[in-house]
Amino acid sequence: MDPDTMLQVSTSDPTPPYEQLRRQLVELISSGRLERGQRLPPVRQLAADLGLAAGTVARTYRELETAGLVVTRRGGGTRVSTDPPVGPTPLLTGDLQMYVTALVGQARRLGATDQQIRDAVDTALNPTTSASNRRPGPNDARSPTSVDRGSQSS
């Protein structure tokens, strides 16, 4: 069995299982490891293998179908679309908010303050500008060095 085509789900991950599955399947389809027209496991089989409710897997398949990545036909199962959309996967409803919520949750668990999280997001959005404009905060012990290094290198 190809380990590259194993789906993994962690129930201790704050990301919902259906989203974990969706991300992996999007990656497998967009990377070409799942070929066009290839059939996906039936919902009940995959749910049983992963110890999930059938509705969870069905939701994943539904979202992939909405994104045009898979096609479901009655009696024919769910297959990878023969004509998947080119470019980034369309943003699905609620996805962005869910990602940001997960990010904020993880950052808070690391001990970051709200301001530090905002700064980090600004940096991620615009690395060059943020690095040159950023002023170190009172709790940011390591940031002056990194900013200085960034300024010197640019």
Partner 1 sequence: MFAIAVLLVLLLVLAGVLVVAAVRPQPEAALEPGSRLSNVRRRTSRWRWGGVALGVVFSVSALQVGGTVGRGVMLAAPLFALGVLVGVIVGELRVAAPSVAARSAPLEVRRVRDYAPKRLTGAVALAAGTLALLLVATTAAGSPDDVGRAGRWLVRACSESLTESRGPWPGSFYSLPLAAVVLSGLAATAFALQQVVRRPRQGEDVRVDDMLRCNAGSAVVAASGILVAVPLVGASVFAGIALFGSGSACPLWWGATVGWILVGCAACAAVLAVRCIVVLALPTRTGAGHEVG
CB 147 within 8 A of CB 131: yes
Work out whether 31 is an interface residue with partner 1 (CB under 8 A). no
Q: Which two tokens stand for residue 67?
A: 């994104």
CB 90 within 8 A of CB 102: no
CB of 42 to partner 1, least distance (A): 7
**Total binding residues toward partner 1, as defined by CB under 8 A:** 23
Q: Binding partner 1 by CB under 8 A: which of 39, 108, 118, 149?
A: 39
Work out whether 16 is an interface residue with partner 1 (CB under 8 A). no
Q: Binding partner 1 by CB under 8 A: which of 26, 34, 69, 70?
A: 34
Return the bridge partners of 79, or none. 39, 71
Work out whether 46 is an interface residue with partner 1 (CB under 8 A). yes
Q: Binding partner 1 by CB under 8 A: which of 14, 36, 37, 45?
A: 45
- Nearest Cα residue to 68 out of 96, 97, 36: 36
In the numeric block, the tokens 């615009």 are attached to 126
- How would you class 19 by CB atoms within 10 Å of its CB: exposed for 0-12, middle for 13-18, buried for 19 or more? buried
Segment lying near partner 1 (by CB under 8 A), choices 45-53, 83-91, 100-108, 123-131:
45-53
Segment lying near partner 1 (by CB under 8 A), choices 48-56, 65-73, 89-97, 135-143:
48-56
Q: Which two tokens stand for residue 70?
A: 């898979």
Give the interface with partner 1 as residue ranges (CB under 8 A): 1, 5-12, 28, 34, 39-42, 44-46, 48-51, 77
